[in-house]
C-alpha cells in the first residue's frame, strides 16, 4: 500500500511531500490500519483551516482525503507525522 502526504500552508507557505510504501515492511499492518482510519476520518473536500495553519492531502492507494489544522484526529496527526518523518 502506498501512502502519500502533501502538507501545504503554514507561516512560510512551504509545501512538503512524502510517501511510504508498506509492501515488504515488517510493520505494514500497523501502517495500513492507521491509513484506513485516516481515510475514514478525512474529508472528501478541503476543509477550511486557520490562518497560517497546515492543510493536508492524504492519498492511500488512489483514494484522497483532506484535513486541516486544528481539526486533525489523533490518528490523522500520527499518520501525517510518521509519513513526513519516515517517508521519502
pLDDT in tens, 36-63: 999 999 999 989 888 889 999 999 989 9
Residue 14 bridge partners (DSSP):
none
pLDDT (0 to 100) of residue 9: 92
Residue 83: is its pLDDT beyond 90?
A: yes
Query: In the numeric block, which cell numbers belong to residue 22?
Result: 508498506
pTM for this prediction: 0.91
Helices 28-41 and 74-86, packing angle to 10 deg: 130
Which of 81, 69, 42 minimizes the C-alpha distance to 58? Answer: 42
pLDDT (0 to 100) of residue 12: 86
Which of 9, 28, 11 minimizes the C-alpha distance to 20? Answer: 28
Which parts of the chain fold into alpha helices (H)?
28-41, 74-86
How confident is the prediction for the chain on average, in pLDDT?
A: 93
Residue 75 bridge partners (DSSP):
none
Residue with cell 486533525: 72
Amino acid at each position: 500500500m502506498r501512502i502519500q502526504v502533501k502538507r501545504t500552508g503554514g507561516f512560510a507557505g512551504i509545501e512538503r511531500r512524502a510517501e511510504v510504501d508498506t509492501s515488504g515492511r515488517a510493520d505494514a499492518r500497523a501502517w495500513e490500519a492507521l491509513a484506513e482510519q485516516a481515510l475514514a476520518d478525512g474529508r472528501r473536500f478541503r476543509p477550511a483551516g486557520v490562518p497560517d495553519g497546515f492543510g493536508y492531502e492524504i492519498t492511500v492507494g488512489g483514494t484522497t482525503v483532506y484535513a486541516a489544522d486544528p481539526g486533525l484526529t489523533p490518528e490523522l496527526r500520527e499518520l501525517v507525522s510518521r509519513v513526513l518523518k519516515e517517508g521519502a
